[in-house]
Amino acid sequence: MADWTSAYSALQTVQAMPVSLVSGRIDTPVDMPQNLVASDIVELITIVSVAVTLEAVDEASAILSDSALTAVLTPVDIEKIANETRQMIQDAIDIIRTTYAPTMDDISSSAQPLGLSYEPVINQLATVAAAVQTLAEAVINEKPQLMQKTVTTPGNLHLMAHRWYGDYSRAAELQRLNPQLRDPNNLAMEDVLNAYAE
């Protein structure tokens, strides 16, 4: 999950870079024109947004397609990757619409019919979003059903793994499914833990 979190953070930084350069929030290697504003580079912002989104899709697909990585991801982690990727896709679609929807008004008088060109890009991005969702669902469905189990006697995660699964070594899995635990060696009766059904 750390791989996705750092990649997602880096991609968001890159996506914000054009606006950050224009606004002066980050230093530029060359001087920017004096009266430059974000609306002057709207097409650059759009292109960067789409490129970053496609990179996020590649990263998410690589993670969700790697069985060694998905084995240690919880369903919540998988949903987070899919949701953040789909949100980036939706943001890119919104930016494309905002940038190119006004070109529909001049479609007959324009030398280049941009009003006809942007809709297929949006449709492809929507198809990619659906594919990410399908991949995430498939990965989640490969795992046993996630449920909540109640601790019936005081103990630790190793003891619970042994009682519930007959295998104390699944304690690491229980730890991954319950990151909120402050002390996994001191479970009290009536504590509720996330656990796989089998």
Q: Which residue has the higher pLDDT, 183 or 115?
A: 183
Q: What is the mean pLDDT of the chain?
A: 89
2 φψ region: left (φ > 0), alpha (ψ -120 to 50), beta (else): alpha
State the average pLDDT over residues 58-66. Answer: 95
Q: What is the pLDDT of residue 55?
A: 97
Helix (H, G, I), strand (E, B) or coil at 193: strand
pLDDT at 142: 87
- Over residues 23-53, the pLDDT tens digits come to 878 887 877 777 877 778 889 999 999 999 9
Residue, of 110 and 91, whose pLDDT is higher: 91
Based on its alpha-carbon atoms, the radius of gyration of the chain, rounded to whole angstroms, reads 23
Closest of 150, 157, 181, 183 to residue 171, by C-alpha: 157
pLDDT value of position 115: 66
Using pLDDT thresholds of 50, 70 and 90, give the confidence band for residue 108.
Answer: low
pLDDT for the residue numbered 82: 97
- What is the rounded average pLDDT of the residues 58-78? 91
Q: What is the mean pLDDT of residues 133-139?
A: 95
More confident residue, 61 or 118: 61
Check pLDDT > 80 for residue 104: no
Helix axis angle, 42-65 to 75-100, nearest 10°: 160
Predicted TM-score (pTM) of this structure? 0.76
* Extended beta strands in the chain, E state: 146-150, 192-196
Q: Which residue has the tokens 């009536």?
A: 190
- Give per-residue pLDDT as tens, 166-178: 999 999 889 988 8
Whole-number Å distance between alpha carbons of 62 and 146: 24
Picking from 131, 110, 142, the residue whose alpha carbon sits closest to that of residue 54 is 131
Ordered domains of the chain (ranges, CATH):
2-142 (no CATH), 146-196 (3.10.350)
| CA-closest candidate to residue 149, choices 192, 198, 187, 181 | 192
pLDDT of residue 22: 82
CA dist 53 and 198 (Å) reads: 37
119-129: pLDDT as tens digits: 899 999 999 99
Predicted pLDDT at 27: 81
